[in-house]
Amino acid sequence: MLFVRSEQGKGSSFSVLLPTGNKYLTPDEIIKDKSIITETARNIHIKLLAEQPSNRQAKSIKETSGVSDNSNEKPLLLFIDDDDDLCSYACDYFSKSFNVINAINGQEGFDKANQYSPDIIISDIIMPEVDGLELCARLKSDINTSHIPVILLTARSEVENYVEGFETGADDYIPKPFNIEVLEAKSKSLIENRRKLRKSFIRSLDFVPKDITTSPTDEQFLQRTLEIIEQNITNPEFGVQKLAGEMCVSRSLLHKKLTAIVDLSANDFITLIKLKKSALLLINSNLSISEIAFEAGFNDPKYFSRCFKKHFGKSPSEYLSEKIQSQ
């Protein structure tokens, strides 16, 4: 039933009343097979996506490697969905801005995340074998993949579904049907925000691990790494091998995690922490530059000065003089 209430000069309001249940329907109008409803919804979603304006040119996906483009400049995106049509369309669309690999369920997605270490993962929630929520929880608790941003897609839009998604560690949660250009923009934004976090870490002297990490697993990893370096900071012989041993991880995993979190190799990360320590000593102590070099784990003051100038753009004495003048 349709009702209209109109008042001249103020406007009109329309009310539509729909009966609940199916008593008002004839037997022929009732769809008992729910799979038909699901399939119809999927087809509508694909049609809506295909009709969205885009200047993208579809590109075929290489079946051997799963990568849709061999450009090393593009970030790597892993798209996970058991709907072949949606997966194919999305991979073709994203291939303009990303190298793309895809998976058809959560288990395959988890395996490919470990194999390829993508820059971002977009996953449906309702899938066979391992669903998107379980997948996200596993990714965020695994040291190999905890740094990867995850966007979850789902047709369920209740508030509790959003809460459930974020509780698994998801970085964003988008209901279906979605605008694929918005999804692309959010994916790029997540990657760019991670880059900004890494840059802010390199520039700042004081920082808290939780300010740069996006998962408890990464926060604990970075906090432990910093503690071990600081405990050994005066030792010029302390390097990557000893750090990996103290962390109980392989050198390759240590390098992979630090590159993902702060965009630095393990060796460069150790050097940076030493330089941050030396800068703080320059500001807050009365030690000479040579004494500060030894306190920061450099056994050669001249080498220390070269490293310091390379990072801060000025020599230790120039750095100190500038800080004093700015106070």
Task: Give CA separation, 302 vs 68, 235, 236, 291, 307, in Å.
Answer: 49, 17, 14, 12, 9
What is the average pLDDT score of the chain?
82
Residues 172 and 84 in one domain: yes
pTM of the model: 0.71
Residues 125 and 93 in one domain: yes
Q: Which pLDDT belongs to residue 276? A: 93
Q: 58: pLDDT confidence band, cut at 50, 70 and 90?
A: very low
Q: 51: pLDDT confidence band, cut at 50, 70 and 90?
A: very low
Structure-model confidence comparison of residues 34 and 280, the more confident one: 280
Q: How far apart are CA 92 and CA 60, in angstroms?
A: 7
Residues 78 and 23 in one domain: no
Residues 314 and 211 in one domain: yes
Q: Domain with 303 in it: what CATH number?
A: 1.10.10.60
Q: At residue 79, does pLDDT exceed 90? A: yes
Q: Which pLDDT belongs to residue 271? A: 94
Q: Which residues of 204-235 are buried (b: 16+ CB within 10 A; e: fewer)?
A: eeebebeebbbbebbbebbeebeebbeebbee
Residues 209 and 277 in one domain: yes
Q: Which pLDDT belongs to residue 72? A: 56
Q: Which pLDDT belongs to residue 128? A: 86
Q: At residue 40, does pLDDT exceed 70? A: no
Residues 149 and 116 in one domain: yes
Q: Which pLDDT belongs to residue 327? A: 59
Q: Domain with 97 in it: what CATH number?
A: 3.40.50.2300
- Is the Cβ–Cβ distance between 101 and 168 less than 8 Å? no
Residues 227-271 have pLDDT tens digits of 999 999 999 999 999 999 999 999 999 999 999 899 999 999 999
| DSSP reduced 3-state for 180 | helix
Q: Which pLDDT belongs to residue 238? A: 94
Where among 166, 197, 228 does a domain terminate?
197
- Is the Cβ–Cβ distance between 96 and 140 less than 8 Å? no
Where among 197, 217, 232 does a domain terminate?
197
- Is the Cβ–Cβ distance between 121 and 110 less than 8 Å? no
Please compute the mean of the pLDDT values over residues 177-202 and round it to a whole number. 89
- Domains identified in the chain, total number: 3
Q: What are phi and psi of 313, to 5 degrees?
A: 80, 5
| DSSP reduced 3-state for 152 | strand
Q: How far apart are CA 313 and CA 322, in angstroms?
A: 12
Residues 231 and 282 in one domain: yes
Residues 264 and 289 in one domain: yes
Residues 179 and 224 in one domain: no
Please compute the mean of the pLDDT values over residues 197-221 and round it to a whole number. 85
Residues 180 and 72 in one domain: yes
DSSP labels, 237-258: T--HHHHHHHHTS-HHHHHHHH
Residues 37 and 110 in one domain: no
- Distant-in-sequence, close-in-space partners of 205: CB < 8 Å, separation ≥ 6: 276, 279, 280
Residues 320 and 208 in one domain: yes
Residues 105-114 have pLDDT tens digits of 999 999 999 9
| Domain with 30 in it | 2-49
